[in-house]
Amino acid sequence: MKLEVHDLVAAKGKRQLTELNVASPEHAAAAEAAGIEIIVSGRARLRRALRDAAPHTHFCFGLIYGDHVNADQAKRAAFDALADGADSIYCAMHFDVVEAMAREGIPIVGHVGLVPQKARWTGLRAVGKSAEEAIGIVEDVRRYESAGAFAVEMEVVPPPVAEAICRSTPLIVISMGSGAGCDAQYLFASDVLGETARRIPRHARSYRDFRAECDRLHGERIAAFTEFRRDVASGAFPGEDETVAMAPGQWERFAEALAERTT
């Protein structure tokens, strides 16, 4: 059964949820089959396909940071996503933008801690290792509460800080590298599957090595295409099994008719 926003909120403090960032309908379908509660993606062109692939999984659509320059544009994009079947919206824009969307009843997930889209100010590093920074995260969470968000992604924050904040807020706290004391654990499907050649982040874990399998399959593609080209050159393709035969006696009739038309 798909979890709606009120179901996610009701689950706070009772069990940990799982969330995957999916890059394809295949990811989405596998996530649903595995019982993952939340999928997230910012790929607008795949939005309907992702929804169709995982109809019973909560789908959070991510607004790409920088695509929308004000609250009106963000609201329009969010409404479009909801019309395509999204259940909630991730938005890393300013609290005022989040508040404008929340006033329209749009369920919003914010982002605190390391926010990669804004890392020009912080660098790609853990946030909250000092008491001062940790208090800053608390203040950001409070601002999301006031803005009307229902959840917040908390990225690369020390686990004791993340757990303490999670216990002190009504928001669903989604951990990406912030320890087990939050309400949900979030990873990228491509990291879980080991699909990319890049080194995965410290906070992620690969459960499979799809990159090696993809490389093997690519080698097999090349080999198959090479064999096809070779068989065409040698006349081995096509063979009788790949062609059709005329009914008995029809070739002779055709040949005779063709000869009459070419003389």
Q: Among all residues, which ones are annotated catalytic?
A: 155
N-to-C CA span, the chain: 74
Give CA–CA dist 89/79, Å, rounded. Answer: 9
Give CA–CA dist 218/214, Å, rounded. Answer: 6
CA distances to 41, 112, 122, 128, 263 from 119, rounded to whole Å, are 20, 12, 5, 14, 80
Under 8 Å CB-to-CB from 11, ≥6 apart: which residues?
3, 17, 183
Give CA–CA dist 64/41, Å, rounded. Answer: 10
Give CA–CA dist 75/19, Å, rounded. Answer: 24
Cβ contact 208:194 at 8 Å? yes
DSSP-assigned letter for residue 151:
E
Helix axes 71-83, 95-103, angle to 10 degrees: 50
Give CA–CA dist 143/159, Å, rounded. Answer: 21
